[in-house]
Structure 1
Amino acid sequence: MSTPLPTASFEHVNEQFSALKRAYATSPYPSVSIRKQRLLKLKALILENQDALIEAISTDFDGRAYNDTRIGEILPSMMAINDALKHLKRWAAPKRKFAGLIHMPASAKVIYQPVGVVGVIAPWNYPLLLTVAPVVGAIAAGNVALVKVSEFTPAFGALMESLVRKYFAASELRIVNGEVDIAQAFSELPFDHLLFTGSTTVGKHIMRAASQNLTPVTLELGGKSPVVIDKSIPVREAAARLVFPKCVNAGQTCVAPDYVLCPTDRIDEFVQHFLVEARRQYPNVADNNDYTSIINERQRARLVGYVEEALARGAALHIAGDSENLADYGTKLPPMLLTGVPDDCAVMQEEIFGPLLPVVGYESLAEATQYINDRPRPLALYVFGYDKSLKPVFEQQTHSGGLVFNEAMVQVTMDNLPFGGIGHSGMGHYHGYDGFQTFSKAKPVVSKGRINSLQLFYPPYKNWLVSSIMRIFGR
């Protein structure tokens, strides 16, 4: 890309962090009204500059579909902000708790206290949404935030940094840009909470760096999200529903379907219907403004390498495009299916993050669930089938960050659901109330008055009293 990367120095990052730390110390428990004002600033920043934001992201991608950004970033960002504005008063209200008869007279409650300075490391694939969504949770909980934007989206990073300076006080929110060394230094700062979205490999480094300060982390990683197609659904319907979630943003989505488990005798039918639907949605891929480019040549070469290795190992490639030569698509890659891929190929081992979709055959549902359970736990699992018995099987016998039946990716835009992975796909949750809780300390507060009932338990112990209390409360 020709856009120069706006790079912060180590000193600048430290200064920003220290300034936010001091600012939080002067206002450690902002009112709900102040938090809503900050959320409204964030909303105005996006709405008043959405064309510029869309253009900057498209520049970084060398061709990002206009509506991929509107639908995939602007819309869910607005939904997240509006959800927080609507529910914040209830979220932040102290929750009364029963102290228990043995402690009477006493009152108890839980208050949700801001943790302080929240750090966010945003990825390149949805740079706006994955900056905004965690910041919404952090602001709603009463925190201040420092965000490190990906070095792969320099145009967006420069614009977002300037817009945040325009709309927010230096004591509320700041953006920093920089290369990998800045990200490393960022992760070593003593944040009160750190949220990282990115790859599992980098997530391990982030967690290791944060551990030096005992900084709690939320890791939103990814992995290989499987699709299971059951015999109880027409293959045509499953294929039609999978094209958009696989191809939006050219598959560069952490919860995109990564591979399909399909009944062996229906693979050919699935391939046929998927290709027909993909060609209907995305005709003439190379010159199609509705289809997004691969972010950079490095990522494109990685994906092409997956295809070449699979073909060399005997796999078959099925292209939903007007050319069999991938070089003809410029910075883009067409939707592609792979069949007959050996299980030890890179495309079956690594998160794909592109418009490639391997299809794997299975003979029984037990075989499909075993295939999933033998691999690292995914961020999402998608099951297509109308047989009601499927639900208890996948709800109880598989692990995943989220489970969706007969659709894909919709869980991300449901703000009343927690979003997060398990195992290699991440840890912790955010979105909506779960984001508010993640960036809050749920602090129990117990209040006692003049009557000291605890003195009944002071030594010297009265065995008859202890025995009586044990008979009532200890069994």
Structure 2
Amino acid sequence: MHLPSPWQQAFELQYQASRQHVDVPELVRRERLLRLQKLLHEHGTTLAAAVQADFGVRSPQLTEMADFMVLRTMLQQTLRQLKRWMRTQRVWTPLHLLPAMARIERQPLGVVGIISPWNYPLQLALGPAIAALAAGNRVMLKPSELTPHTSAQLAHVIGQFFSPEEFCVIQGDAQVASQFAGLPFDHLVFTGSTAVGRKVAMAAAQHLTPTTLELGGKSPCIIGNDCDLAQAAVRIAHGKLLNAGQTCIAPDYLLLPRGREQAFEQAYRKAVAQLFPALAGNPDYAAIINQKHFNRLRNLAQQAESEGAHVQWLEVGPASASPASAAPGWGDAVQRQMTPALVWNVHSEMDIMREEIFGPLLPVISYDHLDDVVKAINAGERPLALYWFGQDVQQRDSVLRRTVSGGVTVNDTLMHVAHDNLPFGGVGSSGWGAYHGEHGFLRFSHQKGVFLQAKWSPAAWLYPPYGAKFERVMALLKRLH
């Protein structure tokens, strides 16, 4: 006898609950969000410690800023705006359909599945869940197997605050994730690489499950001719080195006006030292998640060097370490605190310019004309993020008009994702669908169009049998339009 798997049983429980309780009142949604808020308040320290255990080196302060602060802001805005988001929307009715009325009702989809990544294991697991719960859905979460301590702790605390038919966590490896993606969810959210995103989309397609895919790609950072390099370097270094570059919207490569290479190198080196006075053993500078990913980054640098690039490792501080060395007393994880590097003389055929880097390596491409920048960006896949540094509004707007990206931050990095009223999502190979704020609420809601016919309706004039009366009505409608 073949017994259903635990995740199939969990799905069936949530599916039946979602069909038996289609109408989810505001009070119920709000109470679930408040429970999640309480969970973060009471177990934040434990969850941050679990993240630290998974990375080996990652300070609780980094998790507080990059995970918890984002989640708290999301919850506050959602609780404040929930009533407005849930309202039925009255829509204008065209003249030929009067005196009928029409409206849009926002309903829960049902069961939302979330496959979350390891790099921000709390924010990217619970962020989509906030939007899905606000929209009245049930949620099943499959966190990453690369952060087992965090995943286990999430399963434990969510099980304390939510019943299984409301919100549950499924743990397991990549095979479990593959089977999870094949469940007939009402919506499936995946955050991760483009390659895995394709597999998730194919698995979901078997059940015509709509998806939101938050992927990655080569996010460019453009320096304008009038840019203040000292200020820009600090902001670029922060965006590139936050979580050691393991951020989907981190600047992936830099486009720099020719002739400013030495000035930028000096400014960037100074910025790195300002942010991280020491690297090895510094808990503010996260370790690469595991040895496999560290080796991948090292191989990208070595392959670029073998093809003519110059990799400039930025050693800073007395305790700084080379990529292969370790500081005593910090265990194996300190060996994965990769030294930041600028990579010069790169070309488009190098792996470092073909793959998403997801680490502290920053390739630099010199350009002569802004048109060359636009052509270079448009020659590749559409990026998840784009960054512009400079004060020339015409140049800035020209670049933004002529390129397509998931989102943009001007004169800084990462910050568009922190603005709750901006949609966060990709385009093309960097993903599809967006959430955050009302955009997330709508993503996980069904907008049902409702037409309310009046007691007397002119539509009867268009019923058969068609004849002279029909022709007169149609002639009148044509004139009105």
Q: Name 1:90's counterpart in structure 2.
A: 84
Q: Which residue of 2 aligns with 1:127?
A: 121
2-side partners of 1:463 and 1:406: how far apart? 66
Preserved CA contact (<8 Å) 2:461 2:469: no
Counterpart of 1:73 in structure 2 is: 67
Deviations 1:10-65 (A, max 9, x none): 70010111111111122112101110100011111111111101100010101112
Deviations 1:200-259 (A, max 9, x none): 000000000100000001100010100000101122222122111111101100000000
Q: Distance in 2 between matches of 1:217 and 1:457?
A: 40
Asked whether the equivalents of residues 193 and 217 of structure 1 are also in contact (C-alpha less than 8 Å), the reply is yes
Distance 1:245 1:325 in 2: 21
Conserved in 2, the CA contact under 8 Å of 1:223 and 1:379? yes
Of 202-211 and 95-104, more deviation after overlay is shown by: 95-104
* Count, aligned residues: 467
Deviation, 1:192, is: 0.3
Q: Name the CA distance, whole Å, in 2 between partners of 1:10 and 1:196.
A: 24
Given candidates 322, 325, 328, the residue that maps to 2:322 is 325
Identical pairs, percent:
38
- Give the equivalent residue in structure 2 for 1:371: 376
Tell me the amino acid that sits aligned with residue 66 of structure 2.
Answer: G
Q: 1:464 deviation in Å?
A: 4.8
> 1:467 and 1:227 mapped to 2: Cα distance?
62
Write out aligned runs for 1:343-362 (5 A): 343-362=348-367
What whole-Å deviation, never above 9, does each CA across 1:259-281 have from its counterpart, x for those lacking one? 00001211121111101110121
Q: Name the counterpart of 2:192.
A: 198
Change (3 A) 1:60 1:324: closer
Determine if contact 2:30/2:79 at 8 Å carries over to the other structure: yes
Alignment of 1:410 with 2:404, yes or no, is no
Query: Once structures 1 and 2 are overlaid, which stretch shifts more, 232-241 or 112-121?
Result: 232-241
SS in 1 for 2:10: helix
Letter in 1 for 2:126: V
**In structure 2, how many angstroms separate the alpha carbons of the residues matched to 1:350 and 1:470?**
60
Question: How much does 1:103 deviate?
Answer: 1.4
Aligned partner of 2:330 in structure 1 is none
Q: Does structure 2 retain, via aligned residues, the 8 Å contact 1:283–1:321?
A: no
- The CA deviation string for residues 89-146 of structure 1, in whole angstroms up to 9 with x for no partner, is 0001000012222112211100011110000000000010001110011011110010
Work out the CA distance in 1 between the residues paired with 2:409 and 2:475.
48
Partner of 1:32: 26
Aligned partners of 2:83 and 2:244: how far apart in 1? 39
Counterpart CA distance in 2 for 1:392 and 1:470 is: 47
- Structure 2 distance, partners of 1:472, 1:442, is 29
Q: Secondary structure at the match of 1:389?
A: helix
Question: Does the 8 Å CA contact 1:235/1:266 hold for their aligned counterparts?
Answer: no
Aligned to 1:137, the other structure's residue is in SS state helix
Do residues 463 (structure 1) and 457 (structure 2) align?
no
RMSD across aligned C-alpha pairs, in angstroms? 1.4
3-state DSSP of counterpart to 2:255: strand
Task: Give the CA deviation at 1:324.
Answer: 7.2
Instruction: Answer whether contact 2:142 2:177 (CA < 8 A) is retained.
Output: yes
Larger mean CA deviation between 448-457 and 129-138 belongs to 448-457
Distance (Å, rounded) in 2 between the aligned partners of 1:239 and 1:47: 35
TM-score computed with the length of structure 1 as normaliser? 0.96
Secondary structure at the residue paired with 2:336? coil
| d(CA) in 2 for partners of 1:178, 1:260 | 37
Give a deviation string over 1:154-186, Cα, whole Å, max 9, x none: 000100001011001222100111001100000
**Quick one: distance in 2 between partners of 1:394 and 1:447?**
46
Structure 1 equivalent of residue 236 of structure 2: 242
Deviations 1:436-473 (A, max 9, x none): 11101111011124324321111122435534444445
Determine helix, strand or coil for the equivalent of 2:424. Answer: coil
The answer to whether the 8 Å contact 1:38/1:139 transfers is yes
Give the 3-state SS of the residue equivalent to 1:326 in structure 2.
coil
Cα distance in structure 1, aligned partners of 2:464 and 2:7 = 56
Aligned to 2:292: 298
Whole-angstrom CA distance in 1 between matches of 2:216 and 2:47: 25
The answer as to whether partners of 1:146 and 1:173 remain within 8 angstroms in 2 is yes
Q: Deviations over 1:290-318 (max 9, x none)?
A: 11111000100100111111122222122
What CA distance in whole angstroms lies between the structure 2 residues aligned with 1:121 and 1:463? 61
Give the distance between the partners of 1:353 and 1:128, measured in 2 at CA. 18
1:217 corresponds in structure 2 to 211
For structure 1, which segment, 270-279 or 459-468, has the greater mean C-alpha deviation from structure 2 after superposition?
459-468
Partner letter of residue 34 of structure 2?
A: L
Q: Secondary structure at the match of 2:435?
A: coil
Residue 230 of structure 1, aligned match among 224, 229, 232:
224
Match of 2:394 in 1: 389
> Which of 151, 154, 167 does residue 161 from structure 2 map onto?
167
Task: Answer whether contact 1:275 1:319 (CA < 8 A) is retained.
Answer: no
Larger CA deviation: 60-69 vs 243-252: 60-69
Aligned to 1:186, which of 168, 173, 180? 180
Q: 1:25 to 1:344 in 2, by over 3 A?
A: same
Whole-Å separation in 2 of the counterparts to 1:259 and 1:313: 18
Residue 289 of structure 1: how far off its partner (Å):
1.7
State the alpha-carbon separation in 2 of the partners of residues 397 and 98 from structure 1.
34
Cα distance in 1 between the residues matched to 2:461 and 2:219: 58
Deviations 1:326-384 (A, max 9, x none): 11251210221111123211111100001110111100000011100000000000010
- Aligned equivalent of 2:140: 146
Are the counterparts in 1 of residues 213 and 431 from structure 2 also a CA contact under 8 Å?
yes
Distance 1:319 1:470, change over 3 A: farther
**Aligned: 1:338 with 2:343:** yes
Alignment partners' CA distance in 1, 2:153 and 2:478: 62
